[in-house]
Amino acid sequence: MINLKKILFIGTFSALLAWSNLTLAFDFPFFPQKNEEASSASNATQEGESSNSWSSIAQEVILQALGQTGVKYKYGGINPDSGFDCSGFVRYVFKEAANLTLPHGARAMSQVGKNVSEKELQPGDLVFFNTMKSVYSHVGIYVGNNRFIHAPSAGSSISVSDMNDSYWSKRYTGARRIDEKELARIESIKPAK
């Protein structure tokens, strides 16, 4: 059941974006600015179908993730009603937004898609951290502008953190992007509109 707070948050966020093309502190390349709309259309044609597919999926992933802001952390949690742990949150978001079932656990997720350097990060990429003396013990979703959304730890809730913060920058271990094979599978199972 979606609560009123989440509906208001999503509605307010969507209205802000629609009214002013404001992208807050995030770098959302899939929300074109007015002066970029013409060049974005020609670039999309040149970049091909998979780029458009990724931008569309990334937009849905980010909006779904932001819609979960404030949901409490719960170890082993897999839904917004009971709470999320880091991988439960990421798994839920990708299932809801892209109809893609990611594996359980941050370590297993680190094997999906393709490796991405920190300089090449794009919204929707999975970002990994060493928080428990294990290279892939924490996962979040990159939202742009060196920020990621995640389920931090017990006693907290889904929130956006800055990757430049000393805690996260020291523990960053890599990123993954869902590759074209997964994108093709997503496209083939989406219901027709």
* In the chain, domain spans: 4-189
State the catalytic residues: 86, 138, 150
CATH 3.90.1720.10 correct for 4-189? yes
pLDDT one-digit tens code per residue, 106-143 = 999 999 999 999 999 999 999 999 999 888 999 999 99
* Percent of the chain topping pLDDT 70: 64
Helix axes 49-66, 4-20, angle to 10 degrees: 130
Beta bridge pairs of residue 73: 84
Over 50: is that where the pLDDT of 15 sits?
no
User: What integer pLDDT is reported at residue 57 of this predicted model?
Assistant: 86
Quick one: how far is CA 13 from the chain centroid? Answer: 16
Edge-to-edge strands, sheet with 138-144: 114-116, 172-177, 126-129, 138-144, 147-150, 159-162
**Three-state DSSP class for 158?**
coil
pLDDT tens per residue, range 72-94 = 999 999 999 999 999 999 999 99
Rounded Cα distance, 23 and 32, in Å: 10
